[in-house]
Structures are given as C-alpha cells and as structure tokens.
Amino acid sequence: MLKKLLSVFWLSLLFIPAAAEETDLERGLAIATEQKNRDRGWGDSESNMLMVLRTAQGRESVRRMRTLALEVEGDGDKSLTIFDEPLDVRGSAFLTHSHPTVEDDQWLYLPSVRRTRRIASRNKSGPFMASEFAYEDMTSFELEKFRFRYLGDEKCGELTCFVLEQIPVDTFSGYSKIIAWIDQEHYRVQRAEYFDRKDALLKTLTVEDYRLYLDQYWRPHKLTMHNQQTGKSTDLILESINFRTGRTAADFDVAALERAR
Amino acid sequence: MAPAWTDKFIRYPTIVLAFCLLLVMVLSAGLGKLYFRGDYRIFFSEDNPQLLAFEQMQYEFNKSDNMLIGIAPRDRKIFTPERLELIRRYTEAAWQTPYSTRVDSITNYQHTEAVADDLLVADLVPAEQPLTAVEIARIQAVALNEPLLRNRLIAADGAVAAINITLQLPEQNQHQEVLDVWQAVTAISAQLQQEFPDVDFYHTGIIAMNYAFASEAEQDVKKLVPLMFLAILLVLGWLLRSVWASLATFVVIITSLLSTLGIAGWLGIFMSTATVNVPTILMTLAVADSVHIIASMQFALAKGYQKSAAVSYSLQRNLMPVLITSVTTAIGFLTLNFSEVPILRDLGNLTAIGVMLACLYSLVLLPILLLWLPMRPVTDARQHTVIQHLATWVIGRQQLLRWSFSGLVLLCLGLLTLNQINDEPNEYFAPATEFRQANDFMEQHLSGFTLIDFALDSGQPSGVNEPQFLSAVAAFSNWLLQQPEVMHVNTLTDIMKRLNKNMHQDDPAFYRLPESREEAAQYLLMYEMSLPFGLDLNHQLNIDKSATKLTATLYNLGSKELTNLESRAYQFIEQHYPQYQLAAASAGLMFAHIGERNMASMLKTLPLALILISVILIFSLGSLKLGLISLIPNLVPAIVGFGVWGLMIGEINLALSVVAGMSLGIIVDDTVHFLAKYKHARSEGLATERAVSYAFHSVGRALCITTLVLVCGFGVLIFSGFRLNSDMGLLTAMIILIALIVDLLFLPACLLHLDKDKDKSHVEETA
C-alpha cells in the first residue's frame, strides 16, 4: 500500500512539478498545525504509566512511573518523571524542560546518593529508559522540529487518515524521516513508521485506546513501539491520567526534584 | 551373467545414449537451485551443544554480528587532526552500512565528564571545529585510559584504531546480506583510501569471516576446477596415448559432474567450503573407472580383437571390479555421515552419489563412445619391462620388504601420537588470504579476533545490583585479565566504577564499585538514560537484570588452549562463587569443540567402515584369507600417512579427521584390482610368485595411472585458499601415493609369505 502510495507520489512529482510540491508541503504543515492546535490548552496533567519491555523472544520486564506534565506556551512542555518500579530505583526522578529548537534541559535525581545531575547531552536519539522509545519520541510535539509533507489519504482501521511525512530538522535526530497516519476526524496519530539514518525502516508505532478528557483532549492508553531490526518491543500503558491538578512551574524546577516522591 | 546385459547396451547404442542424455538433462536441471552459503554456522548441526549455548547467549543478550575495520596509518600515529577526522568521517559513513544498528569508534565514544553539578555527555571527538594540540592531547589521554576503548578500538600505543559496526542481519538471504555489508564497507574504505593513501584499512569481524568463507569457496571453484581439468587432460593424454580416449573420459566426467551437482540442487544441498570439493574429487574418481575400461580395451585391441569385441572384453573384465570399487569408495565417503559437521556430511553424500553415477556412466555411456570413436591399440614395451623388473625385484627382496615395511608401520604408529586436534576459524584460511592477513595484523597491533562471552547469573531478578554479585563480577574479570591468553575484558563493573566517579565530581577515589543495591541500580538507570542511539544495556545485561555478560578478547589461540581457558574459568567460579552460574559461549569455542567431537565420532565409524569393506572384499574375492590379507594394504597407508603428518605438521583439523574414512574407500580400489587378478591367476593353478607376477602385469600400469590421476586431483586442492581443503588434499594425496607403494611392494611381499604354497620345492623352482 505504502509502495503504491509512494509511486503515485513520485509520479505526481514527475508530471506536476513545483506547484503541486508546494501545496503538499503547505498541506502537510496545515495538518500538523491543526494537530498541534487541537491539543492546546490542557494545562497540566498527572499520569501513572506502565512500561513493558519485551525481547525478541518475548521475555518481559516491567517498569512503573508517574509523570507530571506542564504545558508551556511559547516554549516546549516540562515534565517530571518519578520512578516507582523496579524498587531499587524508586524515588529516582527525571526532569525535562523541552525546547522546540535548542537542546532540551535534563536533570536526574538519584535518591541513594541524594544528588541531582544535569545531563548535558545531544543524546535525544538514545533510548528512553532502555525502551524502544527514544527521548525524541517522548518529548512534546512541536511544529518547529520538523518539515512536513502531505503524502495522501489512506484508510487506517475504521478511520480515514492523512499520511504525513515528518523530516526532523535537527541533524542529531536518529531518524531520516517519520511517516505518521493521523485520523481526519480528531487529528490523532494512529500509527507511525520511523526510518533510521540510512533510510531503513527502524520502528513502527501503533497507538490504541484513545480516550477523551475534558471533552477536548484525546489521550492514547496504549502505545506499542516495535523495533523492526532487532525484534524487540515496548508497550507504554497509561493506567490513569488527571488534568488540571494545579501544578505550577515551581513544581518543575530543579529544587522540586528532590522533593518529588 | 555380465556379458549378457552389457552386450545388449552395446547393441542398442542410440537408446542407451538417449537414456543417458535424458537422465543428465533431468538431473542437471537442478543446477539452477544451487547456491553458496558462507556463514560459519554451516559447520554446526542444530543440536551441537556449543551452538545451543551460543544461541542461548544470544537470546539473553544482544546478537553481535559485526564488521571490524582496522585503521592503520603507516607512521603509526592515530592522534593527529587528520587521522581523527578520518575516523570520524568513516564512523559517520559507516552508519549507512545496510543492516547496521550501531557504529562505535573512539570519535563517537560517549565521553562523560562531571563539571560542577553537570554531567557532560558528548562525542569524544567533536565534529565542529578543527582540533587544537591541547584538545588532541586530552582526547588521547581519555581514549588510552578508558577500558572500553583501549585494546579494543584503540591500540595502547596509539598506532592503530578500529571502527566496530554492529549488524542485525534479517537472515532471509544470508549470502546476499553478507555480500551487501561487505561491499558497502569496503567501498567506504576504498574511497577514504584514495584521500588518505598513507593509511591502511583492514576488514575483519564475523561478517568478514562469513564473507571470506563464501568468497574463498567461490575462488576455489574458479581457480581449482579449471586447474583440475587441465591436469586431468594432460595426465590422460599422456598415459592413454589417445586424444579420443581422453575425450570419452571427459564426457563421462562432465556428465557425472553435472548430474551430481544437479542432484545437489534438487536436494537443496548448498555449495560451501566443503562441498566445493565435490567437483574436484569426483572428477578424479570418475577418471579411475574410465581408465580401467579404456586400458583393457586398448589391451584387447593390441591382441588383435575387433573393436566391439574389445569393448565387450573390457566390460567383461571390468564390470565387477568397477562396481565393487565404486561401492567401496561410496562406503568410504558415506562414513562422513557420522561426522558432527553438516557440510562434511553433504560432501560425503554428494561424492558417494557422484561415484555411483560415474560408475553407471562408465559402464553404460563410455562403451558406446568407445565404439564410435576411433581407437587404436596401445602397447608400451617400455612400461612393460619396468613392471616386469619391479615384479622380479619384489619377489627377490620380499624378506627385506616385509621387515622394512613392518618397521615403518610400527614407527608411524608411534608418530601418530604427535598429531594434535586443533580447530581455529582463523587458521582455516591460508596466510595469503585477505581475511587471514587482516586478522593477523589486528591481533598483532590491536585486538584478537577470538573471544569468549561469559554470562554470570545471580539467580534472581535485579540480582546484578547486589554489591556481592558485582564484586564477584569484578573479581572474575580481574582473574580473566590475569590469564596469559586474555587481551581485553569488557565488563559492566568498569562502567559502574566510572559512573560512581562521575557522580562524585570525577574524584578518582570514587573509581570503585557502588556500596548498595540501590546505588548500583540508580547508576545503571543514569547510564541507561545516557546511552546513545543503537546502544542499550542488553548486550551486557539480560532483560530482568539477573545476569551480566563479560566479553574476553583473546589472542588467536589453538582450540586446546581455548577449551582449557574455558574450563579454568568454570573452575574459578565453582571454587570462589559457587552460588552463581557461569555460562561460556562464542563462535571460537564452537570451533574449538567441534574438532574433538568430530574426531571422536569419526574414530567410532572407522572400524565399522573397515569391517563393511572387508566383508565386501571377502565375498567378491571369494576368499576369507585374501579378504583378511586385504586389511594390510587398506590400513597401512592411513597409518603411514597420518604418522608422516604427525612428524611434519602435527595438527589435525576437522577436515583431516574425515580423511581416514574417505581415503579408505579410495585405496581399497587398488587392493581390489590387484587381489582380483592375483586370485584369478591362482585359481588357474599358478604358483604364488607367478600369480603375483601376473597381477603386476595385468593391473600394474592401470594402478599407476589411476594413482597418478588421484594424486594430481587431490594435489590440486593444495592450492585452495582454505587450509581445511589444502590440508585434506595434501594428506589424501599422500595416503593414495603410499597406498600404491604398499600395493606394489608390501602387499605382494605379504602374499608371498602368507599365501605361500605348501610345496616348498615349487617356490624355489620359480624363484
């Protein structure tokens, strides 16, 4: 299907140059902008998450964490993740101030040594907590991070989806491109394919169990990232989420790390 | 009985020819299905215990197929701006290698530095600006002091660096995948070589080895098969004194070859380092049948027979010997079925099939060709007088021959013990091959190719965080480093120590293991959070963190030393940390064990083959006594051959362990021909000496010819890029040559003694 789609896409490039090209880019950006706009204004949230890591042979390991998130207008969102399981790492906390165009700020607090360390790294392409999700998959969706291109429409399950190509602007991204299927009704990502820097398919993401919060915000309760090259996979399960719990920027400063329990 | 149906064949040549043509066509249609396989796993059966351990290790931890590129500036200086830039660019380009998941070098090593409360994680060699002398000095200091890099990706003297590409092959079409990787990587090297002419590039690693196995096998086909054709052409033309007879033989060889390889295709047997020998060996063996038939025909023509009568005479004389020798040869090759190595089994089965097909074509197709082609009688007075002299000499010196050969056999029995089993994949390649040179260079200047993975299991989830367990791992890795065979150990405890130091403002006093379970777990969490793209802890920790893997890089060792180190490691853990489980596995270990396992199974089947062949001989010769005497010429060549080998080389690899069985089937042929003629003469009432003399006359020339062809055939294998094949060729050629000498000197001497006439005066009369 994708192949067919791509061949149609390449053919269209041949016959209708510049103008059509321009509209595909514009349309891509328009879809992404709508997607972003529909998700504005949620304020802050608290969620309980379960992460299931799976080897190619199906052996599993489970991690539990709580995540506090704060929407920041005009900058990237802030998030604080507190680890509950495995027990040996309970109380460890990870703070991220994400930024659309410059490096994210990251701090890690380790309770056993009672120390906080800022981790200065360009390592956004690295795995998040040994999972198949990378940091860049976990941080907030910002328009400035990608160049978009509309590739066409396609059925995705019951729904009809826009197929959107996202090319990371940052050269430190681990991806050459991401192809996302976004449903036309609510602009929610239904699935995505991640291509590595040699343009080979690296991972596929499937997103399930969307639920509506505050009558406006859709949140998926299950994300599955499957590494096509190693056969490993990770399930990210949202067990519960509460919005507008009254968190402020003060709950996301470095000092808050050590208070977090 | 024989003439009845062989004559029928001669009477309806077109039908027989059509049948042969059809058979060849149907069988050779399978040729299209033939393919090459070069991965090292073809040496191991699915239930091989070392392979199972290796696979278990790969289930628990990441699979580690790799390509290692050695970068060696001729002036031995890595730490200059240009060379670091070269490595950085190579590293960058290598990410484009198909199926690559990770590229590691000193330039993209994630160096962690503690500055105040910040942990700075960055590439050791940054891309942006040209490097100053101060920065280069800092990079050098970090690289040469980092256990993860030193002696792994950078030589301790800074003369050679390496880039490691980790790969995940989908294993759909392994041969093509390996080829893709090899071509992509060597293209990068070739391009950078142009820009940096004073730097040499070396390619090694598992993928390079798999590529070398496949490409050297193809080389063998391209190089050896034409050489073989040429050798046979020359030898045949010279010995048979007839272009047409050589041509007829060639037709038999080609049809046998096409049919056999076609059957291989139909059966799904692939071409490998072992099965590429099938064409060469088969050509050699097919020649022998034809030579006997043609020689007899020429003999009959010389006697004044008509052509068809001469063919008929030849078939009558040769039907049984050709059939029996083919069956015994096939039995010899079928003993390879008891080998531990699947590709050696394929070699045995294919050759056995081919030998029987060659027998069929020699008895059915060849006579027709001989009828149609112009043939002339060949008599060679000179050869006859040589053989006559030899016979007389043997009869005259029989006493001396018996004693000296008996002494030689005893001596060689002693020399047998000098042979040691040794299997190293590196040593399978001739020193001139690219893979071997790359490996030898890298071992000498940076890091060995051989490694062992050790998995230490704590027995409980998250058990690796236990301080006691970590100290056991550290003690074990220290012990490994103290072993003379070990170059480098990659261990989690080095990472733990470094993290502890990082967490305490890079204070060297904290370069030690964490003190509590929580501390260890949280350092690991921090480490996990800072890992770059394509890297996770899974190559050192299993998923529930109950076990950790240590990788010991070794000097290129013999298999004895390797298994010895393995058992010492087990002993160490058994003795000091009996509460933990140790498992060892690696490709090198698999090879180290296969030689011995293979030898053990081959030694068990050898007596079986010997008994089987002797029984066939007893029945076909119709004499228990002669059957038992045949044991002498059948056993002595292998004893002498392996004895001489022990004296000269003394190393037995898995290909050599099958030589005894394989050569047995071939050398039996000489015995059969000689004893059959001897028996024939005896049954016509000739005395022992006369019968020996008759046997010399009637088969002496043919035996010399076939032996010469066989020695040439197996001798050609000496030019193989594989020591497996060249050693096998050399030893088999030696044994076949010894067999001829034994058949012409020792066997008659023994017959003269053991099959002596009761009537003494009769003996003296003829002598």
Q: Is residue B679 part of a domain?
A: yes
Give the range of the structural domain holding residue B627, as residue numbers without chain letter: 382-418+599-767
Q: Which of B529, B542, B546 to mutate to test the interface with A (most CBs of A within 10 A)?
A: B529
What are the two backbone dihedrals, phi and then psi, of residue B300, each rounded to the nearest 5 degrees?
-70, -40
pLDDT value at residue B184: 94
DSSP B163-193: EEEEE----SSHHHHHHHHHHHHHHHHHHHH
**Does residue B217 register a pLDDT over 50?**
yes
Inform me whether the C-beta atom of residue A229 falls under 8 Å from chain B C-beta atoms. Answer: yes
For residue range A233-242, list pLDDT tens digits in order.
Answer: 999 999 999 9
**Residue B8 confidence class, pLDDT cut points 50, 70, 90:** low
Q: Is residue B233 part of a domain?
A: no
ipTM given for this complex: 0.85
Q: Is residue B400 part of a domain?
A: yes
Q: Tell me the shortest Cα–Cα distance from A6 to chain B, in angstroms.
A: 22
Q: Is residue A14 part of a domain?
A: no
Q: Is A52 helix (H, G, I), strand (E, B) or coil?
A: strand
Same domain, B654 and B767: yes
Same domain, B174 and B248: no
Same domain, B538 and B655: no
pLDDT value at residue B765: 37
For residue range A16-44, list pLDDT tens digits in order.
Answer: 445 556 688 888 898 989 888 888 888 89
Rounded distance between C-alpha atoms, residue B556 and residue B451, angstroms = 9
pLDDT value at residue B734: 93
CB-based contact A113 B503, cutoff 8 Å: yes
Scan residues 262-321 of B and list those with Cβ closer than 8 Å to A. Answer: none
CB-based contact B117 A118, cutoff 8 Å: yes
**Residue of A182 and A172 predicted with greater confidence:** A182
Q: What is the DSSP letter of B340?
A: S
Scan residues 118-137 of B and list those with Cβ closer than 8 Å to A. Answer: 118-122
Same domain, B322 and B364: yes
Give the range of the structural domain holding residue A74, as residue numbers without chain letter: 23-259
Inform me whether the C-beta atom of residue B624 falls under 8 Å from chain A C-beta atoms. Answer: no
Q: Is residue A2 part of a domain?
A: no
Q: Is residue B590 part of a domain?
A: no
Q: What is the DSSP letter of B130?
A: P
pLDDT value at residue A58: 86
**Does residue B357 register a pLDDT over 90?**
yes
Q: Is residue B225 part of a domain?
A: no
pLDDT value at residue A141: 83
CB-based contact B535 A126, cutoff 8 Å: yes
For residue range B99-117, list pLDDT tens digits in order.
Answer: 988 899 999 888 888 777 7
Domain closes at, from B379, B408, B436: B379
Inform me whether the C-beta atom of residue B523 falls under 8 Å from chain A C-beta atoms. Answer: yes
Nearest chain B residue (CA) to A54: B543
Same domain, B255 and B277: yes
For residue range A180-194, list pLDDT tens digits in order.
Answer: 999 999 999 999 999
Same domain, B367 and B386: no
Which residue in the set A88, A126, A232 is minimally distant from B532, CB to CB? A126
For residue range A40-90, list pLDDT tens digits in order.
Answer: 888 899 999 999 999 888 888 899 999 999 988 878 889 899 999 888 888
In this structure, is the dihedral angle defined by the CA atoms of residues B56, B62, B64 and B70, taken in order, positive or negative?
negative
Same domain, B743 and B617: yes
Residues B368/B252, Cβ–Cβ less than 8 Å: no
Domain closes at, from B535, B554, B585: B585
Q: Is residue B247 part of a domain?
A: yes
Inform me whether the C-beta atom of residue B110 falls under 8 Å from chain A C-beta atoms. Answer: yes
Rounded distance between C-alpha atoms, residue B620 and residue B617, angstroms = 5
Count the domains in chain B: 4
pLDDT value at residue B762: 44
CA angle in degrees (0–180, nearest 5) for B306-B311-B313:
90
Q: Is residue A85 part of a domain?
A: yes
Q: Is residue B567 part of a domain?
A: yes
pLDDT value at residue A223: 94
For residue range A94-108, list pLDDT tens digits in order.
Answer: 898 888 778 888 888
Which residue in the set A83, A126, A198 is minimally distant from B531, CB to CB? A126
**Does residue A248 register a pLDDT over 90?**
no
Scan residues 9-48 of A and list those with Cβ closer than 8 Å to B. Answer: none
Count the domains in chain A: 1
Same domain, B193 and B332: no
**Does residue B716 register a pLDDT over 60?**
yes
**Does residue B605 register a pLDDT over 70?**
yes
**Residue A261 confidence class, pLDDT cut points 50, 70, 90:** low
Q: Tell me the shortest Cα–Cα distance from A61 to chain B, in angstroms.
A: 6
For residue range B242-297, list pLDDT tens digits in order.
Answer: 888 888 888 898 899 999 999 999 998 888 888 888 888 888 888 888 888 888 88
Q: Is residue B228 part of a domain?
A: no
Which residue in the set B122, B526, B532 is minimally distant from A125, CB to CB? B532
CB-based contact B122 A122, cutoff 8 Å: yes
Inform me whether the C-beta atom of residue A230 falls under 8 Å from chain B C-beta atoms. Answer: yes
**Does residue B767 register a pLDDT over 70?**
no
Same domain, B98 and B156: yes
Q: Is residue A111 part of a domain?
A: yes
Q: Is A66 helix (H, G, I), strand (E, B) or coil?
A: strand
Q: Is residue A254 part of a domain?
A: yes
**Residue of A52 and B328 predicted with greater confidence:** A52
Rounded distance between C-alpha atoms, residue B713 and residue B733, angstroms = 8
What is the pLDDT averaged over residues B677-690?
86
- CATH (domain of A80): 2.50.20.10
**Residue B2 confidence class, pLDDT cut points 50, 70, 90:** very low
For residue range B459-500, list pLDDT tens digits in order.
Answer: 888 888 999 999 999 999 999 999 998 988 989 898 889 888
Q: Is B532 helix (H, G, I), strand (E, B) or coil?
A: coil
What is the pLDDT averaged over residues B498-504?
85
Which residue in the set A86, A106, A197 is minimally distant from B462, CB to CB? A86
Same domain, B578 and B611: no
Rounded distance between C-alpha atoms, residue B500 and residue B523, angstroms = 7
pLDDT value at residue A10: 52
Same domain, B753 and B611: yes
pLDDT value at residue B760: 44
For residue range B512-546, list pLDDT tens digits in order.
Answer: 888 888 888 888 888 888 788 877 788 888 888 88
Scan residues 62-101 of A and list those with Cβ closer than 8 Å to B. Answer: 83, 86, 88-89, 92, 94
**Does residue B324 register a pLDDT over 60?**
yes
Percent above pLDDT 70 for chain A: 90
pLDDT value at residue A149: 92
Tokens 């049954």 appear where?
A: B683
In this structure, is the dihedral angle defined by the CA atoms of residues B367, B372, B373 and B374, taken in order, positive or negative?
positive
Same domain, B607 and B738: yes
What is each CA distance from B705 to B670, B702, B709, in whole angstroms? Answer: 11, 5, 6
Helix B688-716 × helix B381-396 angle, to 10°: 120
Scan residues 43-62 of A and list those with Cβ closer than 8 Å to B. Answer: 53, 55-57, 59-61
Domain closes at, from B332, B359, B379: B379
Q: What is the mean pLDDT of chain B?
A: 85
